[in-house]
Amino acid sequence: MTKTEQFSKLLREMEECGEDEQKQKIEEMKELINEMNTDDFRHVFTKEQFNKFEKMIEEKKISLENAALLLKHVGYCKKLKNIWIDGLKESLLNKRLELIIIAEDEKKKDEKNENLLIDLCECYISLSRGFPPELLSICVPHLLKKALMKGKNEEIQKEVEIVLLALSNIDHYGVNQALYLDEIKEIIQHHQEHHNLTQLAYQSAWLFLSYRLFFNDKSFKEVVANELHFVREAKRELVELTRQVDWMKKEENRGKKEEKELYIFFGWFSSIGNFLINCDLWNEEFAGLICSITRLLRVAKDNYRDIRRWFISILKTAAQKGAAKVDDLLKGGAVEAVLEEILQPAIDGMTEEDCFIFFLNISERLNEKEEDEKEEEERKAAKMEIFEKLEKEGYEDAIFSFHEKLPKAVFHPSFMFVPKNLSDYLMHL
Compute CA distances 35 → 10, 72, 236, 317, 331, whole Å: 15, 16, 31, 36, 43
Task: Look at residue 127 and tell me whether its pLDDT is greater than 50.
Answer: yes
pLDDT tens string 380-421: 888 888 777 776 655 666 666 655 555 544 545 544 444 444
Q: In sequence order, which residues have a C-beta less than 8 Å from that of residue 110 and are 6 or more positions away?
A: none
CA atoms within 13 A on the CB side of 222: 3
According to the model, what pLDDT value does residue 304 have? Answer: 87
Q: Rounded to 5 degrees, what angle do the CA atoms 389, 333, 241 make?
A: 155
Distance of alpha carbon 125 from alpha carbon 175, whole angstroms: 13
Backbone φ and ψ for 101, nearest 5 degrees, come out as -60, -45
Lowest-pLDDT range of 37-51, 110-124, 337-351: 337-351
**Which regions of 202-320 does DSSP assign to beta strands (E)?**
none
Mean pLDDT of 95-104: 96
CA dihedral 249, 254, 260, 263 (to 10 degrees): 70
Q: In sequence order, which residues have a C-beta less than 8 Å from that of residue 58 and are 6 or more positions away?
A: 96
Distance of alpha carbon 238 from alpha carbon 243, whole angstroms: 9
CA dihedral 247, 251, 255, 260 (to 10 degrees): 70
Distance of alpha carbon 349 from alpha carbon 342, whole angstroms: 11
Mean pLDDT of 172-195: 94
Q: What percent of the chain has pLDDT over 90?
A: 56
Distance of alpha carbon 124 from alpha carbon 212, whole angstroms: 20
Closest-CA residue to 156 (of 114, 199, 196): 196
According to the model, what pLDDT value does residue 30 have? Answer: 96
Task: Look at residue 207 and tell me whether its pLDDT is greater than 50.
Answer: yes
Distance of alpha carbon 45 from alpha carbon 253, whole angstroms: 26
The predicted model scores a pTM of: 0.90
According to the model, what pLDDT value does residue 66 have? Answer: 95
CA atoms within 13 A on the CB side of 297: 26
Q: What is the largest CA-CA distance in the chain?
A: 79
Distance of alpha carbon 187 from alpha carbon 209, whole angstroms: 11
Closest-CA residue to 297 (of 315, 285, 284): 315
Distance of alpha carbon 345 from alpha carbon 311, whole angstroms: 18
According to the model, what pLDDT value does residue 402 have? Answer: 59
3 state DSSP class of 88: coil
pLDDT tens string 39-61: 999 999 999 999 999 999 999 99
| 351 neighbors 309 (Cβ within 8 angstroms) | yes
Residue 172 has a CB neighbour count (10 Å cut-off) of 9
